[in-house]
Structure 1
């Protein structure tokens, strides 16, 4: 059984509403015992640069800002005053929010990070890596990125798996995704669906190999994915009607399937990618997040 008992909510200092906090309280309510930490990293370069103040005075001003923001966090808890959930507050002075979040995850031994997200433009994605994306690559615990849509009881949860690889690590990640998805679906009395994308036949293969039959190749690839998906369905006792196998790229297939079944939550695995390839291509999970209208829970492999 999964337990999200120490939940970290990343508060947006400029947003009028805090859907991440609302969602975290909903998740905590599904647990027998859970606590939520409201977290905010703030930084004002002007406090660092002023030469009028001494270092002691600058420290005092920073402390005053932190205390002011902590008082504001308390006002966010007013709607939850009757909740049985234990709330903690944490405001830190840090110029790189994602580093501060990950440090807090490690220090507080949090088992879930909840953060609101919004669509990133292509130019942002390429030049500025948003905090969300850093978290998807580097956060050691699951990350729940929240949009505006609610989680209705009795809805649909969609687990995205990759059946095309015989790699043991990928199989372990698939098992983790389905296991946690099944538990979340149980807690929400929701229906669990599996989706898997299989690749389109490469055009260059048909051009370079005269005897190559793309239809035969495509049918063989599809059968391989069908067999693997069916094996997961048998193992996790899922109906065939809840299996979705579609040709195409995962970042296109998963959002399409989520819309088709009106999923309230998509759960997928992410293998962190760093360096130039990450800046240029991003990660499938990151591309999926931007195209989904519902929440997405991103899990990391246990071996990472």
Structure 2
């Protein structure tokens, strides 16, 4: 079973349907977990009210927090759940930082948040909260889309079967273990997929004796054997293993659609700076191109940049 015991659910005050909360309740029906609803709010106008004293501004912020806390409590009542749900509202101008701080302070092991498509240009200029969480949150992040989570829904684990370094092998094992646990909850099967790089065109052009067919065959054989070894370790039958040529950000959404998967599980390693802004992580590209939930798993030695 999953090690998810203490779950932080990020609430979006602009949405009528809190799909992250709904997913958390579904998860709680399948295994015992603790749920905390979390809302980060901020209004710059309260900070700029120079006619008020510092104490008066502080009292105004407290009043807003109290109002939003009451709203969260009403939200819990509306769902008519017998599950004990806590709630917390904080005043913070950077939502992703407040979420990560709460994760660390509250010792949570899973963050659930609703997501949606992100405009590419705006994402470069203003990195979405979802992307920040994928890169920086020290625990697993479940990004939820607007769809059902039916029994027998397939779970797709995206791995890098051909890697040889210990860190990536450990991450592969974490991804598959979590996928199998989620599939058990959904009374379903786990599928494994691995994308391997296509033949580099520039080499074929620059080196006349280069045989692209032989290269492709060798590359595919290596990844198929690596996948067989990984699947055998986790007792996943070969009929549920998919080794496909192409870039992961293209292959994963295609396989997820073909399988009609309800959940994609993959690893994510934070990338910082200009590289992250211009290129982004595979998980960020996949998130916008699948019509199901994404569970992003962090390496066991992940170093959170926010303390």
Q: Which residue of 2 is the match for residue 76 of structure 1?
A: 75
Q: Which residue of 1 is the match for residue 112 of structure 2?
A: 114
Q: Which residue of 2 is the match for residue 46 of structure 1?
A: 45
> Can you list the C-alpha shifts for 1:132-190, whole angstroms capped at 9, x where unaligned?
00000010110000001111111200000012321211111001100111111112111
Aligned length in residues: 302
Contact 1:4 1:28 in 2 (8 A): no
Secondary structure in 2 aligned to 1:254? helix
Q: CA deviation at 1:79?
A: 3.6
Alpha-carbon separation, structure 1, partners of 2:160 and 2:247? 11
Unpaired runs of 5+ residues, structure 2, are 303-307
Q: Which residue of 1 is the match for residue 3 of structure 2?
A: 3
Q: Which residue of 1 is the match for residue 26 of structure 2?
A: 26
Secondary structure in 2 aligned to 1:143? strand
Contact 1:11 1:115 in 2 (8 A): yes
The 5-angstrom pairing of residues 208-223 of structure 1 reads 208-223=206-221
Q: Which residue of 2 is the match for residue 196 of structure 1?
A: 194
Q: Which residue of 2 is the match for residue 92 of structure 1?
A: 90
Contact 2:162 2:227 in 1 (8 A): no
Q: Which residue of 1 is the match for residue 60 of structure 2?
A: 61
> Can you list the C-alpha shifts for 1:109-142, whole angstroms capped at 9, x where unaligned?
1111000000001112211100000000010110
Tell me: CA distance 1:30–1:3, structure 2 relative to 1, closer, same or farther (3 Å).
Answer: farther
Q: TM-score, normalised by structure 1?
A: 0.97
Contact 1:20 1:116 in 2 (8 A): yes
Contact 2:10 2:39 in 1 (8 A): yes
The 5-angstrom pairing of residues 178-257 of structure 1 reads 178-257=176-255
Alpha-carbon separation, structure 2, partners of 1:218 and 1:246? 11
Q: Which residue of 1 is the match for residue 162 of structure 2?
A: 164
Contact 1:5 1:28 in 2 (8 A): no
Alpha-carbon separation, structure 1, partners of 2:247 and 2:126? 24
Contact 1:269 1:301 in 2 (8 A): yes
Q: TM-score, normalised by structure 2?
A: 0.96
Contact 2:2 2:181 in 1 (8 A): yes
Q: Which residue of 1 is the match for residue 305 of structure 2?
A: none
1:271 to 265, 269, 272: 269
Alpha-carbon separation, structure 2, partners of 1:27 and 1:272? 26
Alpha-carbon separation, structure 2, partners of 1:40 and 1:254? 32
Alpha-carbon separation, structure 1, partners of 2:208 and 2:234? 42
Alpha-carbon separation, structure 1, partners of 2:71 and 2:201? 57
Q: CA deviation at 1:82?
A: 3.7
Alpha-carbon separation, structure 2, partners of 1:34 and 1:294? 22
Q: CA deviation at 1:246?
A: 1.0
Alpha-carbon separation, structure 2, partners of 1:13 and 1:80? 16
Secondary structure in 1 aligned to 2:112? strand
> Can you list the C-alpha shifts for 1:43-87, whole angstroms capped at 9, x where unaligned?
00010011110000000000000000011111211243342x221
Contact 1:8 1:38 in 2 (8 A): yes
